[in-house]
Amino acid sequence: MTIRLRTRAHVFWRCLFLQAAWNRRGMQNLGFAYAIEPALDALYEDPVRREEALARHLGFFNCHPYMAAAILGGAIHHEERVAAGEEPGAAPLSYKATLQGPLAAVGDGFFWTALRPFFGAMAALGALVAGWPAVVAAVLLYNLVHFTLRAVLFGAGYRQGDAVVGVIANLALPRVAEHLRSAGVALCGAAAAAVALRASGVAPGTENAAVLVVAAAAGAGYLALAKGTPLFPAAYLVALSGTIMAAVTGWDGRP
Amino acid sequence: MIPLVRVDNRLLHGQVLEAWMPRLGATTVVVADDEAALSPLARAAMTLCVPCEIPARIEKLAAVDFAALADSTAVVLLLVRDVAGLVEATTRGLTPARAPLLNLGNVHFATGRRPVTPSVYLTGEELEALKRLAAAGFRIEARAVPTEAPVGLDELERRYAAAR
Amino acid sequence: MGYLLLGIVAGLAAVERKGFLQAMLSRPIALAPLTGLVLGDVAGGLAVAAPLELLWLGAVNLGAALPVHEALGTVAVAGGAVLAGQALGTGVTPALAVLALLAGAPMALLGRRADRLVEQGNERLALFAEEALRRHHPHVAVRLNLAGLAMPFAIAAVLAPAGALVASTLAVWVVRAAPQLDGPLRVGWWAFCGLACAAGARALRARRAGAIFSVSAAAALLLGMVLRVSP
């Protein structure tokens, strides 16, 4: 018993709404049930079994929204076997329960704290030195990677079930993330330099002072944040002290 | 040393790896859970998400040597699935001297549970068990990530009583 | 009209940020120029995009922990700066940018509080869904998922234009009342941009981040100066 490609595509589309009704009780439960519904409709002709299947997917679920595609694919993989009578109804649930935490960690560690900030920093540097086309390019590139992985994970989960873990392991996401983070930091450093050059550029004759202000704000800010200073107070303090310092010394950022 | 024992229904996930491990400077994570230890899929999935430089051990609760963890030079973050796991650990050698701080991270909703923090839903029995652990000398707090303010046991009790 | 468009952009961004897609379109780097675009000043939005992106590079939704609402903050700051620039006829200057930032950024904190309300609303949706399933209306039950998109849209559509209004009013008032502050505020803006880069570097939590950050900044600065001197 297998479902058609069309139905799978429908599930994948709905998977993009996974967090539409995110709530503390069931987290992505409603989103997961919404996403898998077309597959269950195709698999269970008997309305009683269909409802029973949908009800089991309304239980607690939470994962990284991209990585959840793998679990959604795998849940359909198991539901096909449940519908065929090869597995008990609990099989898709234990699959979901086992994988959600670890895959969420992989997704958080790769997409949210490495890939997206890396492209964010790249787009920010691009905006500073090349303007909006660089931003468009960075966002497109990010989504090329993002959608490819989302689709690959969904397909691998559907076709391979439990073996999707091996597929994900082969992607070596934590190792790639490590490199992306370091590269992202380097981009932030380059962005600081770009800011300093822009600041000095608008005020000929005061190049060194402008570079010093930016460097001092970046350096002191980095140390303060590393010591645990919260972001908002730090931002206000730096912006206001820069302003006050300039007002007191009479330097107005112009020649 | 064991600076933190965490109760988390989801065991290893982003909050633990991305928020708690760096904050504690933890060098090792130990998952003390029978179900995870016995499932090949769970073991494979968990080793997947831990960075290679951090050793992760997934063991049956009865197999964990708390004294050795406490005495080792490694900074250990110990994870259990639920409050029951916490209680069992204390009957198997987890003492306040070895691990002073117990953290309630994620305890999901189920029928009969009341919310005490946005991510922790407790039963009356669990609250009583936590009070006994506090009386035994453990410090108990609830929060999902280190950037949140910790909620102490008195406040948890008050919120439990106020919740329906 | 401008505020209506701001509301629609902020509402869509709030939906894209969590409920649907998550394709980086609600991140400050994309959202600030888009905000500028609907108001007719892309460059003005772009001027605040990079520092806001870097400032909030660490605003990510890990598990159940809620980050600041960077999209709401972005529309308030970018919208405020662009509207102020249009009111004064100067475009977005550094002084206007820093004033809009100081007045508009707290919207990101307010947005986080609103997100808690959204979660409570969604909890009711989940309960309705369970109820619908008990009454054997499975299709009704799962479609309630989409109803969860309405509340974040509505909240952002109201709060973001309000934030932009406050930010632009304040910015215009300060610049008119104290024109001599233009220079010092410019310095304050560049200082803030420096801090934002540091915040971005910190948020990435890389090993040896401090060293990489400073070496890369110094190297890029040298390169930039060489390029500027040579024709």
Determine the distance in angstroms separating the CA of C192 from the nearest CA of chain B, rounded to an integer: 23
Q: If contacts are CB pairs under 8 Å, which of residues 114-143 in chain B contact chain A?
A: 115, 118-119
Q: How far apart are CA A176 and CA A178, in angstroms?
A: 5
- Give tens-digit pLDDT for A213-235: 999 999 999 999 999 999 999 99
Residue contact A239–C191, C-beta within 8 A: yes
What does the pLDDT look like over B28-82, one tens digit per residue? 999 999 999 999 999 998 888 777 678 889 999 999 999 999 999 999 999 999 9
By the CB < 8 Å criterion, does A43 face chain C? no
Q: Give the distance from residue C148's alpha carbon to the nearest chain A alpha carbon, in angstroms.
A: 4
Nearest to C71 by CA among C158, C160, C151: C160
Q: What is the ipTM, given to two decimal places?
A: 0.97
Distance of CA A24 to the CA centre of its chain: 20
| A169 → chain B, closest CA residue | B48
Cβ–Cβ < 8 Å for A42, A79: no
Q: Does the beta carbon of B60 lie under 8 angstroms from any beta carbon of chain A?
A: no
What chain B residue is nearest to C204 in terms of C-alpha separation?
A: B18
Structure tokens given for C126: 């989940």
CB of B23 within 8 Å of a chain C CB? The answer is no
Name chain A contacts of B52, Cβ cutoff 8 Å: 174-175
DSSP, collapsed to helix, strand or coil, labels residue B123 as coil
Of A26, A104, A112, the CB nearest to C126: A26
Confirm if C18 and A22 have CB atoms less than 8 A apart.
yes
Could you say which of A64, A109, A165 has the minimum Cβ distance to residue B44? A165
* Residue B52 in tokens: 């290679």
Name chain B contacts of A108, Cβ cutoff 8 Å: 13-14, 17-18
Nearest to C4 by CA among C220, C227, C162, C185: C162
Candidates A57, A20, A59, A63; CA nearest to A40 is: A57
**Six token digits for residue C150:** 């309405």
User: Chain C partners of B19 at a C-beta cutoff of 8 Å?
Assistant: 62, 65
Query: Hey, are the CB atoms on A213 and C191 less than 8 Å from each other?
Result: yes
Distance CA A205, CA C200 (A): 30
The fold adopted by the segment(s) B4-162 is Fructose Permease (3.40.35)
Using CA coordinates, name the residue in chain C closest to A65.
C22
Enumerate the H helices of chain A as residue ranges: 5-15, 29-43, 47-56, 68-83, 91-107, 116-130, 132-160, 164-171, 173-201, 207-226, 231-249
According to the model, what pLDDT value does residue C44 have? 98
Identity of the residue in C205, C208, C218 whose CB atom sits nearest the CB atom of A113: C205
Which chain A residues touch C55 with a CB distance below 8 Å?
231, 235
pLDDT band at C83 (very low <50, low <70, confident <90, very high): very high
Q: What is the pLDDT of residues C90-146, one digit of tens each?
A: 999 999 999 999 999 999 999 999 999 999 999 999 999 999 999 999 999 999 999
pLDDT on residue C231: 52
- Residues in chain A with CB shorter than 8 Å from the CB of C128 are none
pLDDT score of A255: 46
Longest dimension (CA), chain A: 82
Burial grade of A208 (CB within 10 A; 0-12, 13-18, 19 or more): exposed
Which pLDDT score, from 0 to 100, does residue B52 have?
A: 67
pTM of the model: 0.91
Q: What is the pLDDT of residue A238?
A: 97
Task: Kindly state whether B103 is in contact with chain C, defined as any CB-CB distance less than 8 angstroms.
Answer: no
Instruction: Compare CB distances from C53 to A58, A124, A189 and report the shortest one's residue.
Output: A124
Contacts of A232 in chain C (CB under 8 A): 105-106, 109
Domain boundaries, chain B: 4-162
